Chain A
Amino acid sequence: RILHCLLTSSAASFQMSILQYNGSAIVAMVGKDCVAIASDMRYGIQQQTIACDMKKVFQMGDKLFIGLSGLLTDVQTLKQKFDFKLKMYSLRENRPMRPKVFSSLVSSTLYEKRFGPYFVEPVVAGLDAKEGPFIAAMDLIGAPVFAKDFVVSGTTSDELYGVCEAFWKPNMGPDELFETISQSLLAAVDRDCLAGWGAIVHVM
């Protein structure tokens, strides 16, 4: 990408996929009775970095987080939509939404826009009261993957797959999980010019 940028005109703007317009790195990992989700904090518009404190992971419940990569406007809109839906659920059912259920809600919300999708690829991470750690990732039209180890998303996903595969091992405690997910994220984003500039980790 950097080489391509140098080769084109100096008013550097070239066509990228819409999912690469802002740039992000999201990763979630499972540990022993714990789960972690992390993201970078860069807010960029193509090559320009605007801010270094942009939230891409949001707390949706006591032990439920969603990380959204992709087009930032859709990230924020979806977060607000899920707040709405979650609130209605907990008022009607008088109980919090479980991670697996929330994941299904995210999936169906995305598929509703099958032929005009939201340009986001979400990662759900939560600690279910009965069933323990839960992680899932989806493509922009809601196809889910339920992994036992880790899930990744964003412009840095290729790099993240590499480091996570190398560093992850089963049954890590919260402290070790924190170290592992942090180092994986940090190493990965340094190979992606569209992500980085700060990071945040949530451990449940």
Chain B
Amino acid sequence: MYKIDDHVAVAVAGITADANILINYARLAAQRYRYAYQEPIPIEQLLHRICDLKQSYTQFGGLRPFGVSFLVVGWDEYFGFQLFRSEPSGNYGGWKAAAIGNNSPNADSVLKSDYKIGDTDMKKAKSLAVKVLAKMLDTASPSPDKLEFSSITLKDGKPEYKVYTKKDIEGLLKDAGVEKKESSGDI
């Protein structure tokens, strides 16, 4: 997971080396926008620029596409909190809840049934995210070492990107009811 600017962050699935290029590009794009307009870049604008780049590798140059999917989260003053998903084709969509990477189709269907539109606050969202992620990992005992967790919230009216510590994640796992279970002796 990477911070792009104070108000935008991304999670990556796919070829890390390809992702690094795109993340650097995204950071530059965000700063160029800030420099030109003295305003933080609206989330969809940023994503659009990244996706235009991804798309161009599917149509021009004879190069292979970027093997990267992104989940982009952020806040801007025009549309509030937003979540987008993009893929190697350059296609992107806005979502209430989404997953990428291993077992993401499964995760998507769980999210579809369990995420209640209009009735999911931050607490429920974090809980659901952690639960779904644990399922995607295929482990019976998700430990904080295996997870990265971050969020964007508004602090004093300004967006803040927070990376959760191991302790924070332990708390999350506990609240969600998916903490690591001590081996009880069977097999």
Contact = CB atoms under 8 A, between A and B. Distances in A.
B27 A84 contact: no
Interface string B91-109: 0000000000000000000
A87 B38 contact: no
B72 to A, nearest CB: 15
B31 A80 contact: no
A91 B35 contact: no
B68 interface: no
A19 to B, nearest CB: 24
Contacts, number: 22
B38 A80 contact: yes
B27 A88 contact: yes
Interface string A128-160: 000000000000000000000000000000000
B154 interface: no
A87 B5 contact: yes
A81 B31 CA distance: 9
Which of A80, A87, A92 has the largest count of B CB atoms less than 10 A from its CB? Answer: A87
Interface in B24-53: 24, 27-28, 31-32, 34-35, 38
14 contacts: A80-B38, A81-B35, A84-B31, A84-B32, A84-B34, A84-B35, A87-B27, A87-B31, A88-B27, A88-B28, A88-B31, A91-B3, A91-B4, A92-B24
Interface of A: 80-81, 83-84, 87-88, 91-92
